[in-house]
């Protein structure tokens, strides 16, 4: 029984993290129709930016207000989004919106290759550490177990992010415009929607969420080259399970994959990597378009 609880809690923590790193990916696909292979690199940039910024913050006497480092982390993610979005979306991706989805994958594969090296050029190849935000909240005792409180902060962040995205899309005028563009791009253009701006906004939000995922992860790991490569693969699994472009789907997919992985870690550690793709393959066999996407009729 204890084991079940442990699996559930670990699964939720991992699932929350997964949701944050994959929700941006599914949002970008939903709006722009581009499956962004460089998402993992943007995540890595967020992590690096956080490592540098939080390092600077504590170096400049941030010890007085240690909780301020959380604001610095969010700020770091925003800086990444502001720097990268104009270059990537305006400069490159907009030339490919009318092309095949697979071309989008390839273009972003090229961007992935470029960003991996750009990251190494900017931050070097030595690992960076920012443990301060991770230790800040102390431990939480739960029955016989101790959890790092930061892990629950990640769950909180995932809930906030999920609700914010949902509320933006469904409750605000601007969000409804985004939904209209997802539904029918040409029609919304004729109705006077500035589609270019919606695309840039959505891509920017996607970059910010990827970088935020990296920012939240940076204190938990050693920030080193290659951290983005694996992220992209699990994030893909999550959003494919949920259905490409579906926010609810990403949430369900993240929890599903999180719990499956936690279960395998505790019960059969050998299949830890295997299980994620296995869940995805099984879902796709029964629901070829993912859990939350309605099957569409073929157009001739």
Partner 1 sequence: MKILANTPLAAGLALAGLIALAFVLPDWALFLLTIALAKGLVSLGIITQMRAGLVSFGQGLFFGLGAYVAGLMAHFTGVTDIFLLTVLAVLVTGIVGVVFGPLLSNYRGIFFAMLSLSLSMILYGTLSKMTSLGGTDGLNVAAPTFVGYEPEARALSLSLYLYTVVIVVIAGTAMRIFFDSQQGMISLAIRSNELRVEYLGASVRRAHTQNYIISAILGGMGGVITALAIGHVDPESSIFWTISGEFVFVAILAGYLSIPSVFAASIILELVRSFSNLYFPNTWQLALGIFLLIVILTLPNGLGSLVDRRRA
Which positions touch partner 1 (CB under 8 A)? 35, 37, 92, 95, 100-103, 105-107, 109-114, 116-118, 120-121, 125, 229, 233, 236-237, 240, 244, 269-274, 276-278, 280-281, 284-285, 288-289, 298, 300
Q: Angle at which helices 247-267 and 227-242 pack, to 10 degrees?
A: 120
| Minimum distance of partner 1 from residue 152's CB (angstroms) | 28
| Minimum distance of partner 1 from residue 288's CB (angstroms) | 6
Distances (CA, A) of 78 to 75, 116, 139, 213: 5, 20, 29, 12
CB-nearer residue toward partner 1: 37 or 212: 37
Question: Which stretches does DSSP call E strand in 75-208?
Answer: 139-142, 145-148
| Minimum distance of partner 1 from residue 258's CB (angstroms) | 16
Question: In the numeric block, which tokens belong to residue 33?
Answer: 């129709």
Distances (CA, A) of 151 to 82, 222, 282, 295: 27, 16, 29, 37
| Minimum distance of partner 1 from residue 22's CB (angstroms) | 13
H/E stretch holding 138 reads none
The rounded Cα 89 to chain-centroid distance in angstroms is 18
| Minimum distance of partner 1 from residue 285's CB (angstroms) | 7
Question: In the numeric block, which tokens belong to residue 43?
Answer: 């995540």
Residue owning tokens 């550490």: 129
CB-nearer residue toward partner 1: 64 or 121: 121
CB-nearer residue toward partner 1: 190 or 297: 297
């Amino acid at each position: 029984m204890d084991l079940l609880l442990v699996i559930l809690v670990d699964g939720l923590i991992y699932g929350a993290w997964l949701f944050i790193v994959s929700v941006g990916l599914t949002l970008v696909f939903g709006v722009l129709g581009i499956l962004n292979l460089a998402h993992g690199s943007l995540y890595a940039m967020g992590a690096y930016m956080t490592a540098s910024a939080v390092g600077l913050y504590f170096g400049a006497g941030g010890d007085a207000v240690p909780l301020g480092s959380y604001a610095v982390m969010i700020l770091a993610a925003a800086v990444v989004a502001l720097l990268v979005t104009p270059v990537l979306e305006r400069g490159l991706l907009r030339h490919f919106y009318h092309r095949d989805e697979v071309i989008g994958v390839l273009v972003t594969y090229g961007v992935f290759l470029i960003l991996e090296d750009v990251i190494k050029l900017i931050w070097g190849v030595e690992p960076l550490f920012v443990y301060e935000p991770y230790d800040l909240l102390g431990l939480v005792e739960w029955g016989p177990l101790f959890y790092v409180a930061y892990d629950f902060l990640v769950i909180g962040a995932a809930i906030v992010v999920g609700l914010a995205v949902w509320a933006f899309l469904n409750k605000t005028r601007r969000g409804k415009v985004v939904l209209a563009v997802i539904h029918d791009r040409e029609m919304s253009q004729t109705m006077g929607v500035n589609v270019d701006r919606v695309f840039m906004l959505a891509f920017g939000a996607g970059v910010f969420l990827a970088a935020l995922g990296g920012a939240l992860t940076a204190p938990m790991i050693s920030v080193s080259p290659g951290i983005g490569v694996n992220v992209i693969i699990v994030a893909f699994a999550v959003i494919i399970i949920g259905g490409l472009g579906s926010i609810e789907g990403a949430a369900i997919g993240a929890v599903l994959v999180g719990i499956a992985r936690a279960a395998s870690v505790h019960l059969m550690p050998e299949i830890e990597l295997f299980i994620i793709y296995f869940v995805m393959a099984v879902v796709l066999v029964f629901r070829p378009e993912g859990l939350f996407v309605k099957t569409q009729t073929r157009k001739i």
